Amino acid sequence: MKKYVFLVLLVLILPVAVFAHGEDGFEDTKQLIASGVSCDELSDEQLESIGDFFMEQMHPGEQHEIMDEAMGGEGSESLKQTHIRITNMMYCNNMRGGMMNMAFGMMGSGSGMMYGGSPTLMWLWSFLGVLFFLGLTLLVWVLVVKLWKDITRKKG
């Protein structure tokens, strides 16, 4: 009986502990964002913290950890700069080039790096598509005319 009570309590308490753990690290950051402090007044550590918070909101939990590792891991300069760039873009409304502009272009919201997002031979495929459409239209027209002539011959 004690086992069942323990298991029920564990099942009820464990999710609360997991959710509470995820929110603890960002309380100071949330207050900092809510205060509306100007970006010029923020230290690099505060900028990094805000960027980390926004990244956690976009990619929660394990996804965020995987992305952090891909960008150099905790404590790396590249991850710090990434978080600062996210802050500049999302909190400071300041997009000054660099990694984030290129990344968002790669994710589809901007044009491609070359040819304005069009593949090199796009004109050829467009031309072939028009030819195919014209050929199909001509074929249908010829079949309709032939069918019409066959019908009128049988009547006459």
Q: Which of 42-51, 75-84, 116-125, 131-140 has the lowest mean pLDDT?
A: 116-125
Q: CB neighbours (10 Å) of residue 48?
A: 20
pTM of this prediction exceeds 0.95: no
- Considering only CA atoms, which of 114, 113, 93, 97 is closest in space to residue 105? 113
CA nearest 27: which of 48, 49, 1, 4? 49
In whole angstroms, what is the distance from residue 81 CA to residue 60 CA?
19
* Structure confidence by residue, pLDDT tens digits, 89-105: 888 887 665 544 444 44
Half-sphere exposure of 127 toward its Cβ, with a 13 Å CA cutoff? Answer: 4
